[in-house]
Amino acid sequence: MLSLLRYLAGRLFFAVITLFLLSIVLYGIIYLSPLDMRVSLFMPGNVPLRILLDEEAYGRLRDRIIEENHLNDSFSTQYGIWMRNFVTHNWGYSPSLRQEVLPALLDRSPATAELTIYSMLLIIPLTLFSGIQAARKKDKPTDLLIRGLSMAAGTIPLFIMAFFLMTVFYINLKWSSLTGLDMGLLQSNGSFHPYTGLMTVDGLLNGRMDITLTAIRRLMLPVLTITASQWALLTRITRSATIEELQKDYVLAARSRGASTHLIIGRHVLKNTLNVFLANTALSAASIVTGVFIVERIFLWPGVSDILFRTGSFVPDASAVIGFTIYSVIVVLFIMLVLDLLQASINPLISEGMIGGSDGQ
């Protein structure tokens, strides 16, 4: 337990350093742009006010923005102010969203979390099962089928996969839905309480099975799309790792003693394959989160990606864009941390520093 806590502390330290360095880079990109460009990032409204205001009024607004946001100060001063606001939960006001950025992100987080959780719950068992089955039936019809499907799924872009599944399950079979949930409307009638923010769970907690079933129908296509895109790569990795394990001396020795392949895989091979799987899934965390955001927009799921599309304007919304980017990095680092801890709990040698985690250390 002590070694696992030390491992957790090390991973948390690594995550904080990573977030710190990325925030410097992100803020530096903005700081290195010309002053007028930086001023435009903080302009209120969805159209360039230079077109609407006379020269004097625009000049006063420009000067006020420069003063309020310290745009003439040094980079270290500006970044220090931003970091202080960040750690005190003041991520700035978004004129496009017409609200503070952090509350806007948190309001939409449960929907994104729900989509991500169900996708991971499907990706992990499906990938392990298919990868191990392909390895057990190496070069046989089952293996060839799984390899063919994974290669086909891996060559299809995410948005094409989404539209394909939408055509099959929504348009033709009508098994799924793209509408039918509005958390604000449910809360407004006073009979629905958002205990967790997850519609599938809150429906059950409120005794509203109809809401849970509607949420499942809404989640079906987004979850399948994300799962298919990740399954394609991770299944091939799992297959290769399992084949490698099956060729090791301890497996040959177990077989010589009469142990069945099922027993060998269940007791020994699965544990080592799972380590490889979790390590590669952690490295794919950024791809998973990006896929979640893309799928949210395609299937109209009311998640965090809605922030960027609400800010669609002639000029960017600095507070919303920076907040969304930092939020995304935090989510990726959190997923990596959870998967690293799962890996360390399965293999104690990792937490004891004898084997590197997902970052290869």
Same domain, 97 and 180: no
- pLDDT category at 184 given cuts 50, 70, 90 is low
Same domain, 18 and 165: no
Question: Whole-prediction pTM value?
Answer: 0.83
Same domain, 62 and 143: no
Average the pLDDT over 28-56 and give the result.
71
Same domain, 38 and 121: no
Is 352 or 178 the better-scoring residue by pLDDT? Answer: 178
In a domain, 356, yes or no: no
Q: What is the pLDDT of residue 316?
A: 55
Last residue of a domain, one of 80, 101, 122: 101
Same domain, 153 and 85: no
Range of 33's domain? 2-101
Average the pLDDT over 325-344 and give the result.
90
Question: What is the number of structural domains in the chain?
Answer: 2
Of the ranges 136-140, 175-179, 230-234, which one carries the lowest mean pLDDT score? 175-179
Same domain, 31 and 14: yes
Round to whole Å and give the CA distance between 24 and 74.
Answer: 14
Q: What is the pLDDT of residue 310?
A: 66
CATH number of the domain to which 155 belongs: 1.10.3720.10
Same domain, 155 and 280: yes
How many other CB atoms are found less than 10 A from the CB of residue 207? 10
- pLDDT category at 185 given cuts 50, 70, 90 is low
Average the pLDDT over 40-64 and give the result.
70
Same domain, 201 and 94: no
Round to whole Å and give the CA distance between 160 and 270.
Answer: 33
Helices 285-298 and 101-136 cross at an angle (nearest 10°) of 110
Average the pLDDT over 341-350 and give the result.
79
In a domain, 60, yes or no: yes
In a domain, 342, yes or no: yes
Place of tokens 């060559």: 155
Last residue of a domain, one of 77, 101, 125: 101
Same domain, 34 and 113: no
Round to whole Å and give the CA distance between 81 and 264.
Answer: 58
DSSP state of 93: E
Is 21 or 181 the better-scoring residue by pLDDT? Answer: 21
Q: Give the type of residue at 175.
A: W
Q: What is the pLDDT of residue 311?
A: 55
- pLDDT category at 293 given cuts 50, 70, 90 is very high
In a domain, 267, yes or no: yes
Is 95 or 66 the better-scoring residue by pLDDT? Answer: 66
Same domain, 217 and 83: no
What is the distance in angstroms between the CA of the first residue and the CA of the last residue of the chain?
20
Q: What angle do CA 80, 86, 92 make, to 5 degrees?
A: 105
Q: Are 226 and 292 in contact (CB under 8 A)?
A: yes
Tens of pLDDT, residues 215-250: 898 999 999 999 999 999 899 999 999 999 888 888
Same domain, 142 and 92: no
Last residue of a domain, one of 101, 119, 149: 101
In a domain, 359, yes or no: no
In a domain, 80, yes or no: yes
Same domain, 273 and 341: yes
Q: What is the pLDDT of residue 19?
A: 92
Tokens of 6: 């030390």
In a domain, 360, yes or no: no
Tens of pLDDT, residues 65-90: 888 888 888 888 989 988 999 999 88
Average the pLDDT over 177-194 and give the result.
67
Round to whole Å and give the CA distance between 340 and 275.
Answer: 9
In a domain, 361, yes or no: no
Tokens of 341: 């801890």
